[in-house]
Structure 1
Amino acid sequence: MSVRRVRISGLPADFCVPPGWPVPSERWVRENALWAPPPAWRPIPGAPRPPTGWRFWTPNEGWSRYTAPFYRPIRKWALTANVLAAVWIITSIATALQPTAVSLRAVALAAFVAGIGFALAHRALWKRTTATVFSELALVAEEERTKRLTREYQLYLRDAA
């Protein structure tokens, strides 16, 4: 099943519409950017619950520009994996040219194994960082949404009086 996404220019993530929900307006998506509706919330009466573990937001092309500072600390893991890949390639070529160089084979194997380890560590850290950033941004979005709704309600009460 494909997920319906709502992409709005300027937002670092797309809104993922749960099955059975109507597609929200651009204004709603902008006003509720990165807000994760609570489990009991429904956009309209009779709308089904989203599937368990539903992710309402998914990163788009703007994500990396918006969140780059959060990922800086883990760049060294990817850089190290790339350097080790280069060492592996160079030592593998050198081993092919000099088959008697047993120590080069050991260096190539060590670089290969370590490079895979660093790449896997980088991927795990990237996933964890993404989840953390989404959680923190969702908290900020919830606070901002509450403030906006409070202001709108106060204006409504003032205008109704």
Structure 2
Amino acid sequence: HQTHLDTVNYLAKTARPAIVIAASGMCAGGRIVNYLKALIEDKRTDILFVGYQAEGTAGRDIQTYGTRNGYVELEGKRYTINAAVHTISGYSAHAGQEDLLNFVQGMKAKPSEIRIVHGDDDAKMALKQALRELLGEEVGLSIP
């Protein structure tokens, strides 16, 4: 971990050109947070998201407010987003509603319960309704 922090500090201090590839998650933890804290206020920085960023996360805030010179809170501190922010869609590893419905429909033995735990609230409710129409009342559906 110390080598990682040394690298982050080196990049921030020297401003040498570099491409950093880090799993973003939702920018809520891990190495990406160190890079963001060190580089997000630098106008020479570009941030490229290739995955979904859920509502209410730092990643979504960066996507939403980065183009407006907004700010993001990372680990309790406010950072002005001076970096250019870009998003490429279509690279998400998550299945869409149709894929999930096809998966459940193709199951030989239907589950007795399905818990929908990931996604925006509206998307979760829509999936719950679609599953209800597909499976009927015999399957327990919940959004914890």
Tell me if both proteins adopt one fold, taking TM over 0.5 as the criterion.
Answer: no
Of structures 1 and 2, the larger Rg is shown by 1
- With a CA cutoff of 8 Å and minimum separation of 6, indicate the structure with the bigger relative contact order: 1
TM-score range, shorter chain: under 0.3
Q: Which has the higher helix share?
A: 1
Q: Which has the higher strand share?
A: 2
